[in-house]
Each structure stands twice: as structure tokens, then as C-alpha cells.
Amino acid sequence: LEQQFRDDGALLLGRFEGLNVWSYSRSTTLADGTSVDLIRAKYAEFVTRSPAAENVLYYGAIHDIDAMEAGQFVGRQFSKSYKSANGKLMWLETQSRPLPVPRRPDSMVSMLVVTA
């Protein structure tokens, strides 16, 4: 059995009682520089893909006051480009602030795994 990581970092471990079992070991760095796992150690997360769960993805405000005041940001991703003060560089910035929202809270369950 050859295990393959998906582009998003998930690894399919197999199926158990009709459920796909995945491993996900990515982390993120907080503003203070500390690294935090996206899925807590010793926890199992159950998330449904069913349309009945009504999970949606909203997008928050971007960190660009000029763009917000001009009403330029509508959508999942905001990008802009500009030249540096001396004209030697062209900068391209892209921002996105996704916020997953479960409309049915019981569609996700987080469980601490304990062993005897």
C-alpha cells in the first residue's frame, strides 16, 4: 500500500466502519512566533461533507484600508500591484481571509482520544 499526501497535506490512512480516516499534521505560526498544530494532539475530528451540514465559507475584511474605502474588495481573494518609491520594483500582493462556518454545529465533532 503506497500512501500519498494530497496537495492540502492530508494523508488517507484507510477506511474504518465506512468512514474515511485521514491524518493531517500541518501547523501554523501565530503572530507571536509560536507554532501550533492545526489539529490538536490526541484529538479526533469528525467532519461531514454532506450538503445537509450546510457548511459555508465566508471571507473577512482584508488589511487594506485604501481598497476597502474604494470598495475594491468583493470576493474570495484581493490582489493589487504597485511600484516601489524608486520605481525599481513592482510589488504584487494577494490577500484572502477565509472563515469556515458550520451552520449546523452538530455536523462537526471533536473528541479527545484516551487509552487505558
Give me the residue spans of the domains in the chain: 61-96
Left if phi > 0, otherwise alpha if psi is -120 to 50, otherwise beta: which for 72?
alpha
User: In what helix (H) or strand (E) does residue 13 lie, and over which residues does it extend?
Assistant: strand 10-16
Grid coordinates in use for 32? 507571536
Interval 28-69: pLDDT, tens: 898 899 999 988 889 988 888 788 888 888 887 777 777 777
In this prediction, residues 66-92 reach a mean pLDDT of 81
Tell me the whole-structure pTM to 2 decimals: 0.54
Which has the closest alpha carbon to 46: 112, 98, 100, 99? 112
